Amino acid sequence: MSLSTTLSEETAAVSLRSKDKQGIINELLDLLVAAGAVTDKPAALKAVLDRERKMSTGMKYGIAIPHGKTDSVSALVACVGVSAEPVPFDSLDGEPSRIFIMTLSPPEKTGPHLQFLAEVSQLFKSEAKRAAAVAAGTPAELLSVITR
């Protein structure tokens, strides 16, 4: 499962506007619903928020990886968004997040989900790559940064 095959311009956004965790999660889900990747937004939202209650998916370096397992998808789906302003996300390092990568997968399929999360966690170890993602002006530019 790779980022380049999972993400598309339709599932990428460079101008998330929400100022809180739930708003960001809603915006990301809207991308997946609009792309036809999620059939039941309320169920998907519940899955992601339930996961957040267990432990925040705010990582380090301004990155958050909200995710969940839901029957609202038939296979692993993902989207990516960047916020112009930092958003509090209860991150491991206490810093707000600006880069958000959401993934949803069916409850019975754990392999692709874990592989995808591992790939994402390695993705932004480079400060230059994080800066380039935040500076991207279009979904195509954002995908270019993420998938190279």
Catalytic machinery residues: 67
In whole angstroms, give the CA distance from residue 24 to residue 2: 23
In whole angstroms, give the CA distance from residue 22 to residue 90: 12
Instruction: Assess contact for 44 and 52: CB atoms under 8 A.
Output: no
Instruction: Assess contact for 61 and 121: CB atoms under 8 A.
Output: no
* Of residues 79, 72, 71, the one with CA closest to residue 116: 79
30 by Cβ neighbours in 10 Å (0-12 / 13-18 / 19+) ranks as: middle
Helix (H, G, I), strand (E, B) or coil at 138: coil
